[in-house]
Amino acid sequence: MKVGDPVPDIKVKDMNGKDINLKDFKGKKLVVYFYPKDDTPGCTVEACSFRDNNEKIEKMGAKVIGISADSIDSHKKFSSKHKLSFMLLSDSEHKLAEAFGVWKQKSFMGKKFFGIERSTFIIDEKGKIAYIFQKVKPQGHAEEVIKVLESL
């Protein structure tokens, strides 16, 4: 995906098991962030930062949506434990991650595997990519997103 591309027409489940398609949010700005795994240190920092800044982001006319390959049950536990105030989507078959180009080969302690590269996409009201953050550092990321939203 690159700036100007339309969001893909792919359905996934939210943490309540409801079918969600990012195209359904046309008319609203979205902050779609892909993260590797529920309840891990970096992902928790990032999610809690979005939680703490969610009201400000919503006042700017945008909706935060977190996406990982974790299960619906995992998302429910993660959201409840950290009192997350936004939607999490379960991309268990990594169709969205692949479409957005964030399903990548990674390496940890000499082992290679595929997983989500932490990335955030701002999607405009027309359903097109307006801004991309790649290889995101969790600390302070929500504040970076707010700065970009202010400039759009």
Q: Is residue 66 part of a domain?
A: yes
Reply yes or no on whether 48 is catalytic: no
Model confidence over 71-105: pLDDT tens digits?
999 999 999 999 999 999 999 999 999 999 999 98
Model confidence over 44-81: pLDDT tens digits?
999 999 999 999 999 999 999 999 999 999 999 999 99
Domain count of the fold of the chain = 1
The CA distance from 88 to 56, in Å, is 19
The CA distance from 10 to 27, in Å, is 18
What DSSP character marks residue 90?
A: E
Q: Decide if pLDDT at 131 tops 90.
A: yes
18 with 141: CB under 8 angstroms?
A: no
Q: Is residue 97 part of a domain?
A: yes
Q: Is residue 141 part of a domain?
A: yes
**CATH number, residue 76:** 3.40.30.10
- pLDDT at position 23: 93
Whole-model pTM: value is 0.94
- pLDDT at position 27: 93
- What confidence tier does 11 reach under pLDDT thresholds 50, 70, 90? very high
> If residue 147 lies in a helix (H) or strand (E), which one and from where to where?
helix 141-151
133 with 120: CB under 8 angstroms?
A: yes
Q: Which of 43, 102, 142, 145 is catalytic?
A: 43
CA 27 to chain centre: 18
